[in-house]
Amino acid sequence: MDCFNHCTGRFLGGVPCSGLSEKAVRGVHSLSLRGDVQIKGHFLYILHIENRAILLYTMLCIIKTAAGTIKKKGAVGMIAHLRLKAYGKINLALDVLGRKPDGYHEVRMVMQTVGLHDRIDLYRTREPGIRLETNLFYLPDNEQNLAYRAAALLFEEFGIKEGLSIRLRKFIPVSAGMAGGSTDAAAVLYGVNRMFGLELTLQELMERGVKLGADIPYCIMRGTALSEGIGEKLTRLPAIPQCQVLIAKPGISVSTKTVYESLDAMDLKPEDHPDIDGMIEEIRKKDLYAVAGKFGNVLERVTAGRYPVIGQIEDLMKEQGAVNAMMSGSGPTVFGLFTNPAAARKAYQVLRYGEGSGLAKQVYLTNFFNIGKSTAGRPRR
């Protein structure tokens, strides 16, 4: 605005009005009672409004209308930088029902997001292309990285011509059964969608995520959920009562593919399968102790059979007061649930610095990350 005469309340000059329709301006004009409001080019000119109160009210109407118009046109997508958290997951129960003709395994799992997370910064750049850097030298920074491929998927589909710089700081253990790569990809899908104003819904993001990995739809959804099919069929469950979650990864890495292939060769009995329906019932009752009593992971038969340290960590956690402890995913990470914060801190110290320090290379103390009712249907980070 060029000039405001404090004596008469008269406005002389123009303000930018890109995206503001003439219809909207005429509506504001009708509210001004006395004066002249008009558009010339890309500027709104407000002339001859004598009453100062009406003038201020008119300006507020213009700002509100312009903001609404810009939002509808997707200008909210013009974001230069986004900082995101990519949360890890644990499996409270994991069952494998069989192998499909295409090689994928049909699973039934109860998934839970935890507070341990990676940090991702997205920067919009003028230079075309996707660039990725991480704090771990051994992680790929190209198409072999799921986070890179997530960005590339949306860039190709929507013809995005600008560039993107991804800065990834890993804290979730790598190759640990906590969906670290999948959750990074999920966060990038969310971030690119928001940054470039693609306006994809949560479901639409999940449909694209499953093209990259079976765990990605859940990592977009987050919270407590039943996962079926190859992991893409998700049913949200009530939030589990909050507690402390102790996470310990021994200094070994396992191949998820190898673990599943080895399970195929096993002859599982009915009692080897976890009672997932029973666990869901206890979740609905919000009985944490009963939920922990239903822990079960058929993949642990493979991984823990090869690496006894997994069972040793579980035993130590339970000795230190964990309600229960179990391996997550295909392993080798072990988690224990604690309802006593002091006991959880002591167990952390024992595994990190004390007598159990030789069992685990990475140790974290966190809690559940639950989704509130107000955010359950929206993609938020």
Three-state secondary-structure class, residue 266: coil
Query: Is 215 assigned a catalytic role?
Result: yes
Beta-sheet strand order (sheet of 244-249): 324-327, 334-338, 244-249, 362-367
Is 335 within 8 Å of 216 (Cβ atoms)?
no
Distance CA 381, CA 86 (A): 8
286 is catalytic: no
Q: Cis omega before residue 332 (within 30°)?
A: yes
Q: In what order do the strands lie in the sheet with 14-16?
A: 14-16, 43-47, 36-40
For residue 66, the surrounding DSSP H or E stretch is helix 52-72
Place of tokens 């004066």: 35
The per-residue DSSP string of 245-260 comes to EEEEE-S----HHHHH
Q: Which of 236, 225, 184, 202 is nearest to 379 (CA)?
A: 202
Distance CA 90, CA 96 (A): 16
Q: Is 262 helix (H, G, I), strand (E, B) or coil?
A: helix
Catalytic residue among 118, 184, 215, 249: 215
Query: Which stretch of DSSP H or E encloses residue 336?
Result: strand 334-338
Q: Which residues form the catalytic set?
A: 89, 215
